[in-house]
């Protein structure tokens, strides 16, 4: 990994890609796949292959993709009712409307390395409202709420 990179050539980046279970809220078929957790994204996406595997009903639509200062309109399908969970959990959480793409531009990379957990000690980019900070705060709040509290 190169945190001081001055070019996009031959650099490795760290992204949150995790194994998950996914299903529809009306179906029983569960499939295992990977989720790319992008704290800067404002929408959920899945591959067309996953849509076919789960036999999802969708509505054709066009969406505006904005990334790296570029904007383009792309054809997509919108699906509703997807649910996800971790591999060791049977409690599924609903996703917002999800849009399909032929591929998701992320790779699983080298899974042979030991997982390293980092704790955030400063706000990224100095903005208290950054998506990364919001995601971190939401996760910590959920963890705190899951702790058993003594009855009164």
**pLDDT at position 9, please?**
54
Q: Are 20 and 37 in contact (CB under 8 A)?
A: no
Long-range contacts (CB closer than 8 Å, 24 or more residues apart) made by 84-88: 84/20, 84/21, 84/22, 84/35, 85/20, 85/21, 86/18, 86/20, 86/21, 87/19, 87/20, 87/21, 87/32
CATH of the domain at 49: 2.40.70.10
**pLDDT at position 107, please?**
61
Cα angle at 115 between 120 and 21, to 5 degrees? 95
- One digit per residue, the tens of pLDDT, for the chain of length 152 reads 434 444 555 555 556 788 899 999 988 899 999 888 887 788 889 999 999 999 988 999 999 988 778 899 999 999 999 999 988 888 898 999 999 988 887 665 555 556 555 554 554 454 445 555 556 666 666 666 665 444 44
In a domain, 51, yes or no: yes
In a domain, 34, yes or no: yes
Domain range for 47 is 16-101
**pLDDT at position 39, please?**
77
In a domain, 145, yes or no: no
**pLDDT at position 4, please?**
43
In a domain, 106, yes or no: no
In a domain, 144, yes or no: no
**pLDDT at position 83, please?**
92
Number of domains in the chain: 1
């Amino acid at each position: 990994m190169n945190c001081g990179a001055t070019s996009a050539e031959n650099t490795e980046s760290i992204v949150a890609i995790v194994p998950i279970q996914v299903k529809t809220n009306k179906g029983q078929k569960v499939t295992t796949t990977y989720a790319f957790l992008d704290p800067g994204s404002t929408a959920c996406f899945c591959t067309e292959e996953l849509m076919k595997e789960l036999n999802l009903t969708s509505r054709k639509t066009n969406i505006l993709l904005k990334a790296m200062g570029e904007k383009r309109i792309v054809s997509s399908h919108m699906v509703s009712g997807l649910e996800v969970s971790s591999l060791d959990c049977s409690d599924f959480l609903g996703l917002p409307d999800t849009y399909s793409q032929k591929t998701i531009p992320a790779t699983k990379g080298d899974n042979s390395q030991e997982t390293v957990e980092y704790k955030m000690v400063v706000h990224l980019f100095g903005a208290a409202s950054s998506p990364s900070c919001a995601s971190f705060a939401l996760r910590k709040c959920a963890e705190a709420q899951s702790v058993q509290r003594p009855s009164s």
